[in-house]
Structure 1
Amino acid sequence: MDDPLTASVPALAPRVALLDALAEESNLTRAAALAGVPQPTASRWLAELGEQLGTPLVTRAGRGIRLTKAGQRLAEAARRAAGELRLGYRAALAEADPERGQVSLAFLHTMGGVRVPELLAGFRTAHPGVRFDLVQGAHEEILQRLRTGEADLVLTAPLPADDPALHTRALAQQPLVAVVPAGHRLATRRRVRLAELAESEFVSLKPGFGLRGIIDGLLAEAGCTPRISFEGEEADTLRGMVAARLGVAVLPESEPLPNPGTVEIPLQSPAFREIGLVWSAERPLLPAVRTFRDYATGARRTP
């Protein structure tokens, strides 16, 4: 058998404003006007609610009305609900405003040092009212956040290919370099072939990071099977490991300068990772999110 309370919830929703008004007014005509409904409709709603509850919500008090004890209880709940609705409405208005909404942006750890802060700083100069919810993570992790709706936009590399559920837009190509300790036998070279690193121990990102997949592919093409001594989650940690002479690495070029104790050498066969923005093709973007996407991509017309 259906729960009568559950069945009555849809009918309660439009009556919340009336009950909220009745908590302030002892006159049904004025309460109905505040709620934006005709007085006959207000009278009918109160009668219907009283029948559902098995007890009246209002009683006569001279030339006006007053709430019964049951009516007071329901009106108190209605006032709380109305307050929440007003807050929700204001929040919804803010989200619908391209200058006041919130953007949930997920990005790779390797982009948190300079690239993302510079992007946000430039955007906030023109749009100071937009708020950001920022999340860092591995490539697959942040793409999953996007698919489940936890993130509005993802800044990542490599860009996912052949996925009809996602839109992508390339933003930049970031050179990959060999990172070796200062004093390393290759540190004075102007360029280096990946095969020349084959005998060295490597420090690398953990599997599941997009950059790890790119670098593993490059090393395989060069005929290298790297001996990995350490796997981490942040490029800066790996650079620290290289400086401590715990291995060499292949990483994106530092922004803005290499870490002390390390030397970055361009690759003989230049390699890049393509950085780009990803968003859902299945959900419309809120105005503030769309504004940031267009700023980041430099696009005027994008799906």
Structure 2
Amino acid sequence: MPTSRFTFKEKHVLKKVLLLGTCLALTACFGGGDSKEFLIDNPTGKPLAISVDDQKITLAAEQSQTIKLDAGQHTLTLENGDKVKFSVFSAMPRSGVSGLINPTRTRYIYVIQKYLAEGVTPSSENGDVHTLTIDGQTVTGPFEDMGSGLFIDNFTKEWELNPTEPFPESMSSTSADNYKTKLFRLEEFKDYYNNQFSPSVEYTENMRITESRYQPPEITAQFTSPELQQNLNEATKIYNDFIHAESAGDQKDLLKAFDKQNREKWRNPKAGGEELTRYYEIMTNLNHTMMSSILELKQ
């Protein structure tokens, strides 16, 4: 079957890639075992020395490396000697990198880059368009602020390319409109935005464009409804047991208990009113955290 040519939409440049004319076999590998893999990143211009539990790690300037960690609690020791407790979750198996360990508390940006078959006119971006505030300036595009926390999970925004991996010049796909996702360090994002990015379509006033400013998911609330508050208290008890659990087996059992209670009781409360929207938001945040991979254990 003949193939078609692809183009990568970039500022002033159209890069060529291949559009496959046949279906590819699905060879996804689902992660097994009780460990998760994470990327430790050093965006600075000098070596960075840290430790995870008893493992001492020195990262060269502007480099990163992966680390596998078992389910349960761990300790990250920063370069200044500060110690941070965190938990790794393996209730939901994942393959590949499950998140980023960010010892320098650098800000990271999630980016969607469109790829097009040759001759195809884009009708939209491949993700939500947001504004970001960087150095007092506003930028707009298919970007998401991932924050500057010590641990950046990729459960909700799973990036394909790590900070040290560039967008490829080409890609192969069975679709005429495709994309790749990447996690950028802030300084490298600014260079990308100024020198490579251009919108796939014109951003107009009729488009839904909102600000992306990272906020940790809210997991607490005080409801006036006794039923909603009781449900949240029960969910929070399971959640707290989960994030402090020492094994993947315990985590899986607690996630099952959470799901069972949710099916049988929590998701269909008799209470109504304005509090219900926030109730569902909080309960979803608790559940999604339990389905993720890494979390700082704050005092």
Please indicate, yes or no, whether the TM-score normalized by the shorter chain is above 0.5.
no
Over alpha carbons, which structure has the higher Rg?
Answer: 1
Q: For the superposition of Structure 1 and Structure 2, which TM-score range results when normalised by the shorter chain? A: under 0.3
Q: What TM-score, normalized by structure 2, do the two folds share? A: 0.24
> Whose strand fraction is larger, Structure 1's or Structure 2's?
2
Q: What TM-score, normalized by structure 1, do the two folds share? A: 0.23
